[in-house]
Amino acid sequence: MQKKGCSEEELFSFLSSVKKNDRAYRKVLSSMCTIPHPVAVRAHNMFIETNLGDPGLFMGTASLEALLVERLGSLLHYKDAGGYSTSGGTESNIQALRIARETGGKKFPNVVVPESAHFSFEKACEILSLELRTVPSDSEFRMDENKIEDYIDKNTVCIVGVAGTTEYGVVDPISYLSDIAGDRGIFLHVDAAFGGLVLPFIKNSPDFDFKLPGVSCISVDPHKMGMSTIPAGCLLVRDPSVFRSTEVDTPYLTVHKECTLCGTRPGGSVAAAFAVLEYLGEEGMKEVVDRCMKNTHKLILGMGELGYPVAVRPTVNVASFLCDKTPKGWQVSRTRAGHMRTVCMPHITEDVIDEFLKDAKEM
Ligand code: 0PR
């Protein structure tokens, strides 16, 4: 730290020079985050100093968190869902597995996840000392229905399904998982960190949420397709009493128990997440998702014409291609199998796709 502070002008000129090293979103097709919606930024700034870690001090903000949970719960077919805001999919997945472990009551617990699961489950299992069992994918990169049962036994405390996979944008057979979990009384967690704010706005999309009776818990991230500011995730549960399993005493706060993983939690991004959903409503969200899906299909068609077929037709706006090159100046990513992975977030407009395809032709 400098002994003496600097001038504000000096400081901000330094900050702008640093920011120049960040990539603007325009040519980034690898990200699941995007430019926040203007109402998100306004709401975030309005609640910037609030801390949901001590909700008794910020009762207004805490009521917004409850409203966010209520809105997301209703969207995912259970308006009485319990929940709280998290820093994103990783934290939600850790907490989901923590609840499953605590309520499962097994001495040597294991968790069954699809091969396509996000790497956050690896972190969660390591932290929680859970055995991670990985079910191979079928030819469409979904959890193979015929193999699931081979991985479940009497020590399985949680089955995980992904609704909108990170690498291929597909949805696991959640309805089948719901039947198995229901029959065996196993906690079923659905990672809809990405798909949770896409699938409800797509006609005839597969069931993945609380509509299925076996689904116990869902991760959904407003800082992805919800166009919120970062960090904004949400963990939803069918039975709010499961939160007792992760509670600790917090004697010197305004509330005396806390079930969340983080202590201090931002209210700004919660206000932002709520603001976008409220402002756009279902119709506005559907328009955003329609546009992203239209652009995804345009990209799939264009890449196909250039000789780069899509690895699997996605259900959400993530498309991966049999292509080992990268157009100059663009940011894409690679799946574990080496496919070119793209995500058509709201900042990827139709003209951006045209430009990308033009450059892809020349690579
Ligand atoms: N579950 C799924 C299905 C995800 O796709 C992700 C993130 C997570 C959980 C974890 O969410 P958090 O990162 O919010 O904890 N998937 C992206 C990924 O890891 C996140 C991402 C976002 C990556 C922006 C790059 C980027 O620029 O690939």
| pLDDT at 250 (0 to 100) | 95
| pLDDT at 354 (0 to 100) | 98
Instruction: Indicate which residue's Cα is closest to atom 5 of ligand 1.
Output: 166
| pLDDT at 267 (0 to 100) | 98
Radius of gyration of the chain (CA): 21
Single pTM value for the model: 0.98
| pLDDT at 333 (0 to 100) | 98
User: Best substitution site from 28, 123, 166 to test ligand 1's pocket, by max atoms within 8 Å of Cβ?
Assistant: 166
Question: From the CB of 289, is ligand 1 less than 6 Å away?
Answer: no
CA dihedral 266→270→275→281, nearest 10 degrees, is 160
| pLDDT at 68 (0 to 100) | 98
| pLDDT at 55 (0 to 100) | 96
Question: From the CB of 120, is ligand 1 less than 6 Å away?
Answer: yes
pLDDT, tens only, 109-136:
999 999 999 999 999 999 999 999 999 9
Report all structural domains of the chain as residue ranges with CATH numbers, in order of start.
20-36+282-361 (3.90.1150.10), 38-277 (3.40.640.10)
Q: What is the DSSP letter of 250?
A: -
Helices (H), the chain: 8-19, 38-46, 59-75, 89-104, 120-128, 148-151, 174-184, 268-305, 350-361
Helices and strands: H and E segment counts in the chain: 9, 12
- Residue ranges, the chain, pLDDT below 50: none
Measured CA to CA, the distance from residue 271 to residue 36 in angstroms comes to: 13
Tokens of 193: 């960190």
| pLDDT at 205 (0 to 100) | 97
User: Best substitution site from 91, 93, 120, 336 to test ligand 1's pocket, by max atoms within 8 Å of Cβ?
Assistant: 120
| pLDDT at 301 (0 to 100) | 98
CA 11 to centroid of ligand 1, rounded, Å: 32
